Structure 1
Amino acid sequence: MAPDPTPVTEPFPISHIAGRYLLFDINAISHARRHHNICGVLIGTLPNLSQQNVFLGIPLELMPEEARVLVERGHAYIVDDVRAHRKGCLEMSRDERLKYLREMDRQGLEFAKGVREKAEERAERALREKGLVGRRGKEESEAPQESADAEGVSTSNSLLDSTPSTSPSVAVPEKKLEPHFITPTTSYPPLSPPSTDAALPLPSVPKSYPLFRYLNSRGYFAMPGLRFGCNYSVYPGDPLRFHSHFLATGLDWDEEFELLDIVGGGRLGTGVKKAYLIGGEDPEATPAEEEEQDGASAKPVRAFSIEWAGF
């Protein structure tokens, strides 16, 4: 695996806003996906194209299960984002604010320069494709001879005319480069990252959480499985590279369930080329050693996959 372009220091903060668990830092998002099998769902839209819903951007919303498994294993902590921003803005000095605004202007100017350079490259490429650049070079090669002839005529005229006429050269001023307005994706800087001392308690999770934690510890990726009528759609690797293998539903250890639910889940899973998976945590067993090695103490989970034959 290639190293991360920007290393992330753990534990990293997870913002808790209006009951949602969000990641705004692109480095933290890629770190959680690459190293902890946490995908989340992008929910951000573009400010000037708020109706687009195909390619969403940051922030990344985490399921409560994803946020909890990161916190339990010491990779992240949860902060009250509103309170942290209010506290940080009140403690921020005037010099720090001016320094941050100057840095935003500098980044905006660099971005504007890059945009102008790319536009000039596109214009030059278009002229080259139309053959105008070659013609221009030919005209420039003929220019010295014409200028020499013109100089001879000008010299002869100056012998007869005591007041030679010269046309002043007009310089076309270059358009002033206006910096672009940069919208930062995080508040750190200018604010300092929130302290772990102000971390919120563990998120409340559904009864399917033990199955999610068990699958995550085995290297699987889990995405919401609502469209398949289950808790999670489980992938053997990154969902950008693999199709899901299981439709997973978490149950309590002694929970009763209808046989028709197993039949329907098995038939549906086989129909979409997946296996139906059910599992739960044994409340009377001792914590599993593999979970203890991963930094969390959890009781073992048993899982069963159901696949319909004859399809």
Structure 2
Amino acid sequence: MEGGRRVPLLVSDKKAFVWDIDDIAVIRTEYRVCGTLLGTLPHLSQQNVFLGVPLVLSPEEAVLLVNKGFAVLVDDPAAHSSPELAALEKWNLGRSELVQSQIAALEAKDTGSHSKDMSMSEKAQQKREQREARRAAATAIKTDADAALSVSRVPVQAPRPPRTAPTYTVIIPGTSTSFSWYTQEPHAYSTIQAAKDAGIWSYPSDLTERAKCAVFQDLWEKGYYMGGGLKFGGDFLVYPGDPLRYHSHFTATVIESPDKSIMPMEIVAHGRLGTATKKTHLFCTWDEAVGDVSYVSIEWAGFG
């Protein structure tokens, strides 16, 4: 991505977050990196199925995006400075003006539609009263042996419920980039090593973490999407397409060296778990000496 805009990954406590919705869409649709949404949605603070921003990236996802030149790591706490009182008041005033202008536009639109609805409701009320009058005139006369009484029904009009105060949805910019006291450029790092030297990032720090990054990148380069595999007994879940559209085909376990031994019971456990969850289990071995990843798949075969 030479010369293009790099997505800022806001680092806090050595975790990479994305707050901008447009950036979240870019890294998912163009870079095939999904991350995990953490925040609650407006008016649905108790829900736990569909979450909102921010998006937190796994360390492997963040390393991939930076190494590929798609993103930069930003020291988010350092990028914020204490605003002056005049700047804060100006920002609050601008925000209030933005809200009031949106409300005024929505009220004008609502008034026009309400007037139209009122004219239509008045016509409907007139027709309803005419129907009630005709029904009252056609009411049968009740007679008995002594006298005949004429009974006419007077239509009773139910009181209209009071009109509740209207509610409006307004759009308020919420990203830090709109603040004059927030500057990313002096605190952005385009390489993992530069971020490590600045003390805001530490992953990968050992052979196991380097192996996970290498396997993640190799699978990504093969066109797969990856997600967390902890629930299925591995390091990653491997999807043939976007996880919103596809089930994962593989569960991947990373082995940091070709010389590392694997217990037979571990092979059996992964094979049984993969079969139970309708996935093939992958053992992904990273050979740091030659910079190569090799794969071995395990699945039960039929007997007899």
TM-score, normalised relative to structure 2: 0.69
Q: Is the 8 A contact 1:208 1:280 kept in 2?
A: no
- Residue in structure 2 matching 1:195, options 185, 190, 194: 185
- Aligned match of 1:211: 215
Aligned to 1:274: 279
Match of 1:78 among 51, 73, 76: 73
Aligned to 1:307: 299
Q: Distance in 2 between matches of 1:57 and 1:93?
A: 31
Q: How far apart are the structure 2 equivalents of 1:93 and 1:216? A: 48
| 3-state SS of 1:250 partner | strand
Report the alpha carbon displacement of residue 103 of structure 1 after superposing the two structures with TM.
4.6
Residue 241 of structure 1 is matched in structure 2 by 245
Q: CA deviation at 1:268?
A: 1.2
**In 2, Cα distance between equivalents of 1:240 and 1:11:** 25
1:252 aligns to 2:242 (yes or no): no
Which residue does 2:138 correspond to in 1?
none
Note closer, same or farther for the CA distance 1:257–1:221 as it changes in structure 2 (3 Å cut): same
What does 1:1-311 align with in structure 2 at a 5 Å threshold? 10-46=5-41, 49-85=44-80, 87=81, 89-90=82-83, 94=86, 98=90, 101-103=93-95, 105-107=97-99, 109-110=101-102, 113-114=105-106, 117=109, 132=121, 135=124, 184-191=173-180, 193-195=183-185, 198-199=188-189, 200-201=195-196, 203-205=202-204, 206=209, 207-253=211-257, 254-285=259-290, 299-310=291-302
Q: Percent identity?
A: 35
Shift of 1:15: 0.8
Deviation of 1:238 (Å): 0.3
Q: Compared with structure 1, are the counterparts of its residues 302 and 134 closer, same or farther at alpha carbon in structure 2 (3 Å cutoff)? A: farther
In 2, Cα distance between equivalents of 1:14 and 1:81: 9
Separation in 1, partners of 2:90, 2:166: 22
The residue type paired with residue 273 of structure 1 is K
Matched residue SS, 2:28: helix
Deviations 1:216-238, CA, capped at 9 Å, x for gaps: 11111111111111111110100
The CA distance in 1 between the partners of 2:88 and 2:15, in whole Å, is 30
Aligned residues: 252
C-alpha contact (below 8 Å) 1:43/1:57 kept by paired residues: yes
TM-score (norm 1): 0.68
| Structure 2, unaligned runs of 5 or more | 129-163, 190-194
Q: Deviations over 1:237-290 (max 9, x none)?
A: 0001111010011111222221211211122112221110111222222xxxxx
Q: Distance in 2 between matches of 1:100 and 1:119?
A: 28
Of the structure 1 ranges 65-74 and 96-105, higher mean CA displacement relative to structure 2 is found in: 96-105
